[in-house]
């Protein structure tokens, strides 16, 4: 008889429309595990944390929600605290696991773990199943190594084929029984101080789905999406999509349903358009692996850059000479969220005004964002730094002009005290200048 199946939950933290979970339903016995990585609590190569307080709270709520749903079906979620490779190795050995299933991940490191596990246990059946994308790799109208180098070319290929995501499937009512006698290696993530705007888990995702469509917000998305402050100007689904407590196919299906039952217009199309951006970056991460984190990006376009610690600090804390940047960074630090428009402006300032190495900006976003997603974050940063999927080279925004367009009354800047905290750049040259 084969040994139990191990389902390694990563960024697919839900029961609804979860292909990795569905693949495990035929197991005689099932072990469900989430690994709290020790590296999340140590400084990374940028001297930052990979998991900041906002996402930590959101993740804890998500795991509580997932645990509860599994328990209602006679299962339990093990939380192990170690490196994924060591945790999986010990579980495979202890429980004599014969098959490991996980969601396909755009992160190079996560995919590498599975390869290493496979080489430690050549007879183990290891499967990574598309669970976080709209399409599966076999649906794509090209091989992954032929992924178009720009989003527009990708979108045109998808739209030309009239490609539609497969229908989402509901959460299973029954699950295979757990393996008894396996202990957790960690109880809970340390709790952060303040409650978040976002409620973690499938319950939170469902609540936002119900709210967003019932309030008829999709029909004005295209006009409102460049807002800077508030809840309703954009969909806010990114946080749940990022850790997988919401399935992208479920969201797409809700937009389809809205279009069929209420209204289809440019705005509803634009919401899908943005989900295609997300889709593009997921495949971009899968195609380019470790190059996602490289200064010169996947296409070897070395940017001119430098590093000034004081400027980096000023950007992180929101004390640059640019009020709009300060407001956005202070909003990010306080809430874990920043609008898409502001993300573009602060990234442009980081690269073009402050002359900093874009990877530090991406790493700071990784720490602070509640919706941090490896592919969307590093892919967007590469794009803005001119080393990624942008045929136009780099994107430099005129901060004054953008402030006038998107914050004409300065309501956003005032709300987050962007002007009060505007200071001239600390200039290193002063210190080195010979003074008589």
Ligand X SMILES: Cc1cc2nc3c(=O)[nH]c(=O)nc-3n(C[C@H](O)[C@H](O)[C@H](O)COP(=O)(O)OP(=O)(O)OC[C@H]3O[C@@H](n4cnc5c(N)ncnc54)[C@H](O)[C@@H]3O)c2cc1C
Residues that bind ligand X (CB under 6 A): 225, 234-238, 241-242, 271, 274-275, 277-278, 281, 339-340, 343-344, 347, 365, 369, 371-373, 376-377, 380-381, 384
356 beta partners: 306
Output the six-digit token pair for 264: 């289809």
Quick one: 80 or 281, whose CB is closer to ligand X? 281
| Max CA separation in the chain (angstroms) | 86
Quick one: 18 or 339, whose CB is closer to ligand X? 339
Q: Could you tell me the smallest distance in angstroms from the CB atom of residue 378 to ligand X?
A: 8
- ∠ CA 182-78-85, nearest 5°, is 90
CA-based torsion, 183, 33, 368, 226: positive or negative: negative
Tell me how far apart the alpha carbons of residues 12 and 203 are, in angstroms, rounded to a whole number. 14
Quick one: 117 or 385, whose CB is closer to ligand X? 385
Quick one: 176 or 200, whose CB is closer to ligand X? 200
DSSP 184-230: PS---PPPPSS--SSPPHHHHHHHHHHHHHHTTGGGGHHHHTT--SS
Q: Could you tell me the smallest distance in angstroms from the CB atom of residue 190 to ligand X?
A: 22
Q: How far is CA 345 from CA 33, 141, 380, 399, in A?
A: 39, 34, 12, 7
Tell me how far apart the alpha carbons of residues 414 and 327 are, in angstroms, rounded to a whole number. 8
Quick one: 370 or 422, whose CB is closer to ligand X? 370
Which phi and psi (to 5°) does residue 191 adopt?
-80, 130
Quick one: 29 or 265, whose CB is closer to ligand X? 265
Quick one: 178 or 318, whose CB is closer to ligand X? 318
Neighbouring C-beta atoms of residue 212, cutoff 10 Å: 23
Helices 399-406 and 323-335 sit at what angle, rounded to 10 degrees?
Answer: 70
């Amino acid at each position: 008889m084969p040994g139990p199946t191990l389902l390694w939950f990563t960024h697919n933290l839900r029961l609804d429309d979860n292909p990795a979970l569905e693949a495990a339903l035929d197991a005689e016995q099932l072990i469900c595990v989430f690994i709290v990585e020790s590296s999340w609590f140590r400084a990374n190569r940028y001297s930052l944390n990979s998991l900041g307080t906002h996402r930590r709270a959101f993740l804890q709520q998500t795991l509580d929600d997932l645990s509860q749903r599994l328990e209602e079906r006679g299962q339990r979620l093990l939380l192990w605290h170690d490196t994924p490779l060591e945790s999986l190795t010990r579980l495979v050995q202890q429980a004599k696991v014969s098959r490991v299933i996980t969601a396909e991940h755009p992160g190079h490191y996560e995919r590498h773990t599975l390869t290493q596990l496979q080489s430690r246990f050549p007879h183990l059946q290891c499967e990574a199943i598309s669970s976080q994308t709209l399409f599966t790799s076999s649906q794509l109208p090209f091989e992954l190594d032929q992924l178009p180098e720009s989003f527009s070319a990708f979108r045109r290929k998808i739209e030309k084929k009239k490609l539609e995501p497969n229908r989402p499937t509901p959460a299973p009512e029954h699950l295979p029984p757990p393996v008894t006698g396996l202990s957790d290696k960690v109880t809970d993530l340390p709790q952060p101080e303040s409650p978040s705007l976002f409620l973690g888990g499938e319950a939170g995702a469902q609540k936002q789905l119900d709210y967003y469509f019932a309030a008829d917000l999709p029909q004005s998305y295209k006009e409102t999406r460049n807002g800077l402050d508030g809840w309703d100007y954009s969909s806010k689904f990114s946080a749940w999509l990022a850790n997988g407590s919401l399935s992208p196919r479920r969201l797409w299906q809700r937009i389809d349903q809205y279009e069929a039952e209420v209204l289809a217009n440019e705005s509803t199309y634009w919401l899908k358009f943005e989900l295609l951006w997300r889709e593009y970056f997921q495949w971009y991460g899968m195609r380019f692996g470790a190059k996602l984190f490289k200064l010169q990006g996947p296409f070897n376009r070395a940017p001119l850059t430098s590093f000034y610690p004081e400027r980096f600090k000023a950007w992180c804390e929101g004390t640059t000479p640019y009020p709009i940047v300060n407001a956005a960074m202070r909003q990010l630090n306080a809430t874990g969220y920043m609008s898409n428009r502001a993300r573009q402006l602060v990234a442009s300032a980081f690269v073009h005004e402050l002359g900093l190495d874009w990877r530090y900006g991406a790493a700071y976003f990784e720490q602070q964002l509640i919706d941090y997603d490896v592919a969307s974050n590093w892919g967007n940063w590469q794009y803005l730094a001119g080393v990624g999927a942008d045929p136009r080279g780099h994107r430099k925004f005129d901060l004054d002009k953008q402030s006038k367009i998107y914050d004409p009354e300065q309501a956003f800047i005032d709300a987050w005290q962007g002007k009060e905290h505007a200071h001239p750049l600390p200039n290193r040259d002063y210190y080195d200048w010979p003074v008589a």
